[in-house]
Amino acid sequence: GESVGLHLPTLSVQEGDNSIINCAYSNSASDYFIWYKQESGKGPQFIIDIRSNMDKRQGQRVTVLLNKTVKHLSLQIAATQPGDSAVYFCAGLGGSARQLTFGSGTQLTVLP
Amino acid sequence: DAEITQSPRHKITETGRQVTLACHQTWNHNNMFWYRQDLGHGLRLIHYSYGVQDTNKGEVSDGYSVSRSNTEDLPLTLESAASSQTSVYFCASSESGVWTQYFGPGTRLLVL
């Protein structure tokens, strides 16, 4: 089955700096990945997704990089703002059931 | 605006009682999902549905059931609540053939 995890449970960055949140997965057949943001007391919110036929995808202030060789993806947030403080999850699609498997999350804290 | 809502937002119940958590979406999505979120585990899939009268078991379905009588609703029932079912429950929905899921605000359940 699919295993999706995150490298660090917590990450602190200074306001204005760039943030990089990492995620590893185990199933080489995984072909789709999503990043979610979850603020305290709220449900996960879609940020950006990427298919396995891509190495990079950019959104507004966010970039996702996919390295299929080492089964790793990262979420980069440019010019991190206080409103970016949240838990960030990656999720991968794979396995015979074709369901999303979620990592445990990284708590991003933006320092003033 | 289309949305997905959950009720109640908070629930306290006793061991052995039957509990039903409601999920209602106005996106007109065919796919609906129930997850539980526990510290250190990320989101784990309980049950899912791809349309009216369709239900499927997820990774952690024991002790839970769902029914899908219309497109908008997927209630989750705990047949006989156990303390191990204390958790935060999230409902999500997605369009047919699309893997991006949109989440509700969650229900925090405490089983005493």
Q: Quick check: bond before A112 cis, omega within 30? A: no
Highest mean pLDDT among A4-13, A88-97, B38-47: B38-47
Res A97: pLDDT? 66
Q: Using 50, 70 and 90 to split pLDDT, how confident is the model at A2?
A: low
Residue of B40, B44, B100 with shortest CB distance to A49: B100
Average pLDDT over residues B90-110: 95
- Record: contact B99-A104, CB cut-off 8 A: no
Query: What share of chain B in percent tops pLDDT 70?
Result: 100
Chain A residues in contact with B48 by the CB 8 A cut-off are: 99
Q: Which residue of A has its CA nearest to B9?
A: A41
- Cα A27 to the center of its chain, rounded Å: 16
Q: Which residue of B has its CA nearest to A8?
A: B40
- Please tell me what DSSP assigns to residue A84: G
Res A27: pLDDT? 81
Task: Looking at the complex, report in whole angstroms how far the Cα of residue A91 sits from the nearest Cα belonging to chain B.
Answer: 9
Res A7: pLDDT? 67
Residue of A42, A43, A104 with shortest CB distance to B42: A104
Distance CA A90, CA A4 (A): 7
- Record: contact B99-A34, CB cut-off 8 A: yes
Mention every residue, 6+ apart, whose C-beta is less than 8 A from residue A65: A55, A56, A73, A74, A76
Q: Using 50, 70 and 90 to split pLDDT, how confident is the model at B5?
A: very high
Q: What is the pLDDT of residues B50-60, one digit of tens each?
A: 999 999 999 99
* 3-state DSSP of A32-79: EEEEEEECCCCCCEEEEEEECCCCEEECCCEEEEEECCCCEEEEEECC
B100 close contact with A: CB closer than 8 A: yes
The upper half-sphere exposure of residue A84, i.e. CA atoms within 13 Å in the direction of its Cβ, equals 28
Task: Looking at the complex, report in whole angstroms how far the Cα of residue A23 sits from the nearest Cα belonging to chain B.
Answer: 13
Task: Looking at the complex, report in whole angstroms how far the Cα of residue A26 sits from the nearest Cα belonging to chain B.
Answer: 16
B93 close contact with A: CB closer than 8 A: no
Q: What is the pLDDT of residues A37-60, one digit of tens each?
A: 999 999 999 999 999 999 999 999
Mention every residue, 6+ apart, whose C-beta is less than 8 A from residue A70: none
The overall average pLDDT reported for chain A is: 90
Average pLDDT over residues B73-97: 96
Coil vs helix vs strand at A38: strand
Q: Who has greater pLDDT, A2 or B57?
A: B57
- pLDDT over threshold 80, residue B92: yes
Q: Is the dihedral of CA B29, B32, B38, B42 positive or negative?
A: negative
